[in-house]
Amino acid sequence: MNKIKLMKLKTYVLSALCFLVVMSSCKKDDDDNSLELIPERDRAEQQLADFDSLKVYLQTHYYNRATFEAPGNHTIAELVISELPKDDSGNYQPMPDPDTNQLLSEAVNIDAPLTTTYMDTEYQYYILELNKGGGVNPNFSDMVRLNYNGFLTDGTSFDGTVTPTDFDLMNLIPGWREAIPQFKTSESFVENNDGTVTFENYGLGVMFLPSGLAYFGNPTASIPAYSNLNFAFELYQSEIADHDGDGIPSYMEDLDGDKNLFNDDTDGDNVPNFLDSDDDADRVLTINEMTRQTYTVDTNNGGQEPVLAEGEFERSRSMSAGVITIKTLKIVDADGDGVDDHLQKTVTTDYSK
């Protein structure tokens, strides 16, 4: 599998600071000084309004279901979402060709929305699963390679890609960190002679998000404030991110489990743990407060890879003449008080020495 290159810490810290100033998005629009400032609304009240309009959209739109029931690697370009026809009085009429089309409200099970809590508000959203994928589920903070198309409820496309593109989920709107991990990456891929890559059995779907999981009250040049947003996507590959290179996968640095890595700051230095190389400010780097292990697996003799212990993470691997060398790091709680060494300032054992 082609590796997705992780951002260098210096670059990511800059983007993280930007995140704290403004809401992250899939792609930033150019500054538009003509955008009207709109007073911020109450999140809970806005969610109620957004959820009502989201359900109306799903109940009045349908998609070409039969297309995706046929075998093959389908794409978001094949997806057609249409509004129900109306009579002369503006009343909605029955969906055409029910044998090949399906109401979105039926496809997503409108009575069973997905839920998450963000900014102390419970949000409800929907996902249309066109293909689950045959690979692995990304974590909410991983790097991913995908194609996508973002569009408003009136069908207007405001952003997207045409070739596989790499993204850091921590740099995207919160709805992506909820939806993308519910799909799997491709089962396999083939590198073609022309330099392109063909992916097999990848995750394919559409997320329908309320404004609170998108831009909320921050308009862009092409997205009005408080807009519900839709994203169709093809998920190809992922790679576990370790943004600060401290040996701990970023998703494991979400201490309170809220999928917001920016509010986990053990030493209170205003640098969140996932960007902090010394989480507890004890002057021993986090990576050095974990034990090291090296495994050698000789596949020529039928050797099997080790099962890593809880709190043990693969740091690197290499292969030569059929022999795999795997180096790992393992989190330590030396005094058994339930607080790991790298999060406890009074414990300063340096396992690198």
What is the structure's pLDDT at 37?
67
- Model pTM score: 0.87
Distance CA 315, CA 137 (A): 20
Task: Name, in order, each residue with C-beta under 8 angstroms of 127's C-beta and a sequence gap of 6 or more.
Answer: 108, 114, 179, 182, 205, 206, 207, 208
Let me know: does 127 contact 208? Beta carbons within 8 Å: yes
For residue 87, pLDDT over 70 is answered with: yes
Amino acid in the structure at residue 238? S
| pLDDT tops 50 at residue 307 | yes
Mean pLDDT in residue range 266-291: 98
- Check: CB of residue 175 under 8 Å from CB of residue 115: no
pLDDT for residue 188: 97
Domains of the chain: 9-25+39-239 (3.10.50.40), 250-343 (no CATH)
SS3 sequence of 91-150? CECCCCCCCCCEEHHHHCCCCCCEEEEECCEEEEEEEEEEECCCCCCCCCCCEEEEEEEE
8 A C-beta contact, residue 123 and residue 212:
yes
Q: How high is the pLDDT of residue 24?
A: 42
Of 253, 250, 251, 288, nearest to 267 by C-alpha is 253
How far is Cα 283 from Cα 347, in angstroms, rounded to an integer? Answer: 11
